[in-house]
């Protein structure tokens, strides 16, 4: 537990010690995500890491197509946008032309593991010095909860109304394990935001991924298991519980590859 | 017998109630049961989470899980 200690923030006037407040790079506005959606938590973790590393002025993020398409409205640092699945290609171009910037992509599982599979694998294989934050919520959220390559066997979605059939739709895909054998991939870890405890671990992994890039070590990717209560058809609390009981059993948490 | 001094838990949180979406993840993540569901609706039309003072330790677990980032924690 000691590792999970929360940093004390200097108090506002007339207050006791503030130990938790909104990070400076997370704009103080409402987000558009559904109640209990993991995107909000992951946005904040990224902001905390950027603030703590002091790299706000150097960061360039690439927002995806998916529910996080307007992430640039929430992040108070430089963000651009790429067509669906193409963020690793855009990140490659930016990083190669501006090697002193810290470049990361934020992608859903439809974005990264379906339409953007080629971009992801080749960016890792080329050993691009970029960071990918991969949000695995097992569905296409933005377009109405269709099956994603990551959808679990038997899971009901808008396009698998009787549950994903392995015979018809194939097996769910573990992207980190696919990337691991590539020499260009340096740091790969899977984390989750289904509980406060796991969220603190997720932050450490995101920190390590950014440090990998800052230190010039090469390609880093963190897969974050995230709740989509809306298209899982359950409350946020049940969705978080489902990650613990089902999703994290198929997608084991932990470091897949490190240097 | 020497008296043992027990430090009283002295945490406190503030929830921005009109921005709460009512996911209640903070409630299930509080180890001390210090967060309850309000009786009345907020401007979003949901019953927001509210702090119920007591043995809050300021551990910040509620704030760490809140997807809206609307909980401030004091110790
Ligand atoms: C080239 C292209 N093909 C398809 C789409 C439609 N589309 C928009 S979002 C999306 C999937 C989003 O799912 P995911 O990446 O898992 O993100 P989530 O919404 O779940 O966060 C698709 C297929 C598109 N916008 N552009
Ligand atoms: S549809 Fe799912 S992923 Fe999209 S905002 Fe809602 S809960 Fe989040
Ligand atoms: S976690 Fe945040 S949004 Fe969810 S109920 Fe608690 S205060 Fe409200
Ligand atoms: S700071 Fe800790 S003890 Fe206090 S309300 Fe939040 S989770 Fe509960």
Domain presence at residue B61: yes
Q: Residue A166 has what pLDDT?
A: 97
Q: How many CA atoms lie within 13 A of A8 on its CB side?
A: 9
**Is residue A3 pLDDT above 60, yes or no?**
no
Give residue B17's domain range.
Answer: 12-74
CA A158 / ligand 1 centre spacing (Å) = 14
pLDDT tens for each residue of A58-104:
999 999 999 999 999 999 999 999 999 999 999 999 999 999 999 99
pLDDT tens for each residue of A4-44:
567 777 666 666 789 999 999 999 999 999 999 999 999 99
- Closest CA–CA distance from residue B66 to any residue of chain A (Å): 7
**Residue B35: band (very low, low, confident or very high) from pLDDT cuts 50, 70, 90:** very high
> Whole-structure pTM over 0.90, yes or no?
yes
Asked if residues A75 and A62 have their Cβ atoms less than 8 Å apart, the reply is: no
ipTM of the complex as predicted: 0.93
From the list A80, A46, A67, the residue with the least C-alpha distance to A110 is: A67
Domain presence at residue B46: yes
Chain-chain contact of B74 with A16 (C-beta, under 8 angstroms): yes
Question: How high does pLDDT run on average in chain B?
Answer: 93
pLDDT tens for each residue of A113-132:
999 999 999 999 999 999 99
pLDDT tens for each residue of B44-64:
999 999 999 999 999 999 999
Count of domains for chain B: 1
Closest-CA residue of chain B to A236: B23
Asked if residues A230 and A35 have their Cβ atoms less than 8 Å apart, the reply is: no
Q: Which atom of ligand 3 is nearest to the CA of B24?
A: 5
Give all strands (DSSP E) within A137-197, no chain letters. 139-140, 146-147, 185-192
Fold of A39-257: Rossmann fold (3.40.50)
Q: Tell me the CATH number at B20.
A: 3.30.70.20
**Residue A2: band (very low, low, confident or very high) from pLDDT cuts 50, 70, 90:** very low
User: Which residues have any ligand 4 atom within 6 Å of their CB?
Assistant: B 11, 13, 30, 32, 34-35, 56-62, 73
> How far apart (Å, rounded) are the C-alpha atoms in residues A57 and A50?
9
Domain segments of chain A as ranges: 39-257
């Amino acid at each position: 537990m000691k590792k999970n200690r929360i940093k004390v923030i200097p108090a506002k006037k007339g207050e006791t010690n503030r130990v938790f407040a909104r990070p400076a790079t997370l704009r103080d506005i409402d987000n558009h995500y559904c109640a209990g959606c993991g995107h909000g938590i992951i946005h904040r973790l990224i902001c905390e890491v950027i603030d703590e590393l002091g790299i706000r002025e150097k960061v360039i993020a690439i927002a995806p197509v998916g529910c996080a398409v307007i992430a640039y409205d929430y992040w108070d640092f430089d963000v651009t946008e790429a067509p669906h699945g193409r963020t690793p290609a855009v990140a490659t171009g930016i990083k190669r032309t501006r090697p002193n910037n810290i470049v990361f992509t934020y992608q859903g599982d439809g974005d990264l593991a379906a339409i953007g599979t080629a971009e992801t694998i080749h960016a890792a294989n080329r050993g691009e010095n970029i960071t990918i934050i991969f949000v695995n919520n097992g569905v296409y959220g933005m377009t109405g909860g269709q099956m994603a390559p990551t959808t679990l066997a038997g899971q009901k979605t808008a396009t698998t109304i009787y549950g994903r059939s392995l015979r018809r739709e194939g097996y769910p895909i573990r992207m980190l394990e696919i990337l691991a054998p590539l020499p260009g991939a340096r740091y790969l870890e899977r984390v989750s935001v289904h509980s406060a405890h796991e969220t603190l671990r997720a932050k450490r992994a995101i920190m390590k991924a950014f440090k990998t890039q800052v230190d010039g070590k090469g390609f880093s990717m963190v897969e974050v298991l995230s709740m989509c209560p809306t298209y899982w058809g359950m409350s946020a609390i049940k969705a978080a519980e489902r990650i613990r009981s089902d999703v994290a059993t198929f997608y084991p948490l932990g470091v897949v590859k490190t240097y | 017998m020497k008296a043992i001094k027990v430090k009283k838990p002295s945490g406190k949180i503030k929830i921005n109630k009109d921005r709460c979406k009512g996911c209640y993840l903070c409630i299930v993540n509080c180890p001390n049961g210090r967060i309850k569901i309000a009786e009345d609706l907020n401007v979003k039309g949901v019953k927001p989470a509210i702090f119920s003072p007591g043995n809050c330790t300021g551990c910040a677990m509620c704030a760490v899980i809140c997807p809206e980032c609307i909980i401030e924690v004091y110790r």
